[in-house]
Amino acid sequence: MMKIKKLMRDIELLEKVEELSEQSPNACIQCGTCSAGCPFVDEMDVLPERIFKYIVLDEVEKVLENNTMWICAACYTCSVRCPRDIDIARIMEGVRQIILRADIDNVDVDEVDNIEELPQLAVVGCFRKETG
């Protein structure tokens, strides 16, 4: 919890996401097209457009308490279908990078049960974090 509070003091979330992804969550019109086409949306806590709303409102805690950006497989289905041409997968990667750079641990690799049931991207990302 302390790292989350430090992260909230240290960054302007929207500004950092825009810097890392070169995309603007502000351009999202909350149409839901990204969620409608996402093959992993059933595994997400909240829909991608809700994460964008949290980013725009600078609600860092709400972004961090959800697993949406970790479930995103970066398959680009959402990005291709977005009527505003937002590269949603890049924004999700930007949010993941912010969290990883802040060294906020949500998963301990040694304590993961049923690793074969997790999305492959989540497993690879977790191991990359452990080795990087």
In the chain, what is the greatest distance between 2 CA atoms, to the nearest angstrom? 41
Q: What angle do CA 39, 44, 67 make, to 5 degrees?
A: 130
pLDDT means per 10 residues, the chain with 132 residues, are 57 87 92 90 90 90 86 88 93 88 66 72 64 50
Residues of the domain holding 11: 2-131
H/E run at residue 101: helix 88-101
- Tallying the residues shown for the chain, one arrives at 132
- CATH (domain of 46): 1.10.1060
Q: Which residue has the tokens 């937002």?
A: 86
Q: Which residue has the tokens 């990204």?
A: 34
Q: What is the pLDDT of residue 49?
A: 92
Instruction: Answer whether 56's CB lies under 8 Å from 14's CB.
Output: yes
Query: What's phi and psi for 17, nearest 5 deg?
Result: -60, -45
Provide the 3-class DSSP secondary structure of residue 34. helix
Q: What is the pLDDT of residue 2?
A: 55
What pTM, to 2 d.p., does this model score?
0.74
Instruction: Answer whether 84's CB lies under 8 Å from 29's CB.
Output: yes
Q: What is the pLDDT of residue 115?
A: 72
Instruction: Count structural domains, the chain.
Output: 1
Residue type for position 32: G
